[in-house]
Chains A and B, each alone.
Chain A
Amino acid sequence: MTQWRALLQPHRIVLMAIFTGLVIWCAFALRWDWVPQYAPLAVEGLWRTIWILILTSVLGFMLAIPLGLAQAVGPWYLSAPAKLFCTIIRGTPLLLQIWLLYYGLGSLFPQIPWIRGSELWPYLRQAWPYAVLALTLSYAGYEGEVMRGAFSSVNRGQLEAANAFGMPRFTMFRRIWLPQAIRNVLPTLGGETILQLKATPLVATITVVEIYSVSSRVRADTFIVYEPLLLLAVFYMMIAGLITLLFRRFEEQVPKR
């Protein structure tokens, strides 16, 4: 209730009126006649973006858990490679990583003649496996660093107590350590997922058809520049809003101390 009242302050009403005016101006002054023709393609692209986002975030997070654990408590021969991996991923542009994986690996194929006959070839020919791999590794690199902090911030006493009760090590990890670590990172996880969403358009450069590449297609076909980009920005804002809401729901379900 108070939220709605906050919207009714005079200056906000003026701002909203200006905003509505802007939207109406955009609707009438700009060209939107291309929308019906490209709508099916856009829906497909939007679906592909969301699908890539979810898949790579989940896979990346699963990879981040061992990476974080290795850095937090692992012996040097595990923690050193994990740290190196995170440093490399975080220290180089994602665009370069994507191109290295796709074109770099691709340029090696002709030197391996048997690869075209292998079972994996139908997948190696596609672009999306490389996109998924690159985005997964990227998410894992950033999240691995976050998980390292999360694992080391779990109270030692609790782990010792579990140990004293004779809890097996894996059960202890699954029941006590991991849940608390995840609870610690939950507030940052939403932000990280939005960053991942913002990374997805880069895969359009390796021929994956997602929502960004649809806007490029509209631009290439019709030479309309701003309208598809504006609509694209609105789409991304809506997805980012959804992610924020979703993680807020998650956080509400986690009991606070």
Chain B
Amino acid sequence: MDLILETLGLAASAELLSLNPPGWGGNLLRGLANSLQIAFGAFGFGLLIGLFGASGKLYGGVVIRDLLAIYTTVIRAVPELVLILILYYVGTDLINKASQMLGYGRVEISGVVAGIWVLGIVQGAYATEVLRGAIKAVPQGQIEAARAFGMPPFMLMRRVTIPAMMSYATPGLANLWLIATKDTALLAIVGFSELTLETRQAAASTRAYFTFFLAAGALYLIVTLFSGAVFARIEKWARRGQPSLRGAHK
């Protein structure tokens, strides 16, 4: 192994990337773990917002519909970087002011929670649209049939709407998850120690910019490819019992 690395001239890179100090590999993996944690949280939070948002857009009153339209339009038109800065500084400031007014003192907001909250709000806007489209794609007759049997709204959602829309929503949600993992990189700009910032620190300290950015790129790519495979399985599972869509859009 060492010989191969030596002949390829990669020994120095391998040393820099080794998992134990003086190698920086451990830092990169810690950053990756942080990135995934935030991406996961933001995706879940976004999904929650999206579920309420989609129901609001479809079944809500006029005011709710208009407010949701403003939310999704604004979020989708303004760069994530700008949104992150606004939400990061304004959001935590407001929460602190509110809790102080209520007499609770300062709230400790960890970087992870702030990151989840910021990216979650961004994800929520996209998730609203994805889920709205998916719910609309569920044949109306199925929902009406469930209502006719006197199914309560919550059970209707759990038993009929969500399982039936899963197959329509999965491709869009898979895309959203990938966006979530990549958007965590933007948190580097607000100084959150996720993979991109760890990479930047390692690169700046060792001057091996090329090595570290390539290594981080490879890590992101592995996450993408792995998630792609997982979502393909989920989609297959969600589609079980449905006729194949291959060639259907021809």
A and B touch in the complex (CB under 8 A): yes
A residues near B (Cβ < 8 Å) are 9, 11-12, 15, 87-88, 90-97, 99-100, 103-108, 153, 194, 197-202, 205, 212, 225-226, 229-230, 232-233, 236-237, 240-241
CA distance A148 to B224 in the complex (A): 20
Partner of B77, one of A105, A226, A237: A237
Task: Answer yes or no: B82 CB below 8 A from chain A CBs.
Answer: yes
Partner of A96, one of B63, B86, B213: B213
Asked if A194 contacts B209 (CB within 8 A), the reply is no
Whether A92 lies near B217 (C-beta < 8 A) is yes
A108:B210 contact, CB within 8 angstroms: yes
Contacting residue for A11 out of B62, B89, B184, CB 8 A: B62
Q: Please report whether the interface of chain B is mostly helix, strand, loop or mixed according to DSSP.
A: helix
**Least Cβ distance of A80 to chain B in Å?**
15
Knowing A198-B78, A236-B82 are in contact, say whether A12-B66 is a contact too (CB < 8 A). Answer: yes
Nearest CB of B to A93, in Å: 4
Give chain B residues whose Cβ lies under 8 Å from the Cβ of A232: 82
Cβ contact within 8 Å between B217 and A96: yes
Cβ contact of A100, chosen from B63, B77, B213, B249, cutoff 8 A: B213
| B220 contacts partner chain A, Cβ-Cβ < 8 Å | yes
* Count of residues in B whose CB is under 8 Å from the partner chain: 43
Q: Which residues of B contact A93 (CB under 8 A)?
A: 182-186, 196, 220
Q: Told that A11-B63, A93-B186 touch, could you supply 15 new A-B pairs with CB distance under 8 A?
A: A11-B62, A90-B178, A93-B220, A96-B217, A99-B209, A100-B209, A106-B209, A107-B210, A194-B76, A198-B80, A201-B81, A212-B79, A225-B89, A226-B86, A233-B83
Contact, CB under 8 Å: A95 / B196:
yes
Q: List 5 A-B contacts (CB under 8 A).
A: A11-B66, A95-B185, A99-B200, A202-B81, A230-B86
Q: Which of B63, B76, B77, B83 has the most chain A CB atoms inside 10 A of its CB?
A: B77
The smallest beta-carbon distance between A190 and chain B, in angstroms, is 12
Query: Do A104 and B221 form a contact, CB below 8 Å, given A15-B63, A95-B186, A212-B79?
Result: no
B95 at the interface (CB under 8 A from A): no
Contact B74–A237 (Cβ < 8 Å): yes
A residues in contact with B89, CB < 8 Å: 225-226
Looking at A12, A94, A95, A202, the one whose CB has the most chain B CB atoms below 10 A away is: A95
Asked whether, in the complex, the Cβ of B79 is within 8 Å of the Cβ of A229, the reply is no
Q: Which residues of B have CB within 8 Å of A103?
A: 203, 209, 213
Asked if A91 meets B207 with Cβ closer than 8 Å, knowing A201-B79, A236-B79, the reply is no
* Contact call A91/B221, Cβ cutoff below 8 A: yes
- Find chain A residues with CB under 8 A from B86 CB: 226, 229-230, 233
| A225 surroundings in chain B (CB, below 8 A) | 89
> Please, which residues of chain A bring their CB within 8 A of the CB of B151?
none
B201-229 interface (Cβ within 8 A of A) = 203, 207-210, 213-214, 216-217, 220-221, 224-225
Q: How far is the CA of A153 from the CA of B249 in the complex (A)?
A: 9
Kindly list chain A residues whose C-beta atoms are within 8 Å of the C-beta of B145.
Answer: none
Which residues of A are found within 8 Å of B186, using beta-carbon distances? 93, 95
- Is residue B189 within 8 Å, beta carbon to beta carbon, of the partner chain? yes
Residue B173 interfacial (CB < 8 Å): no
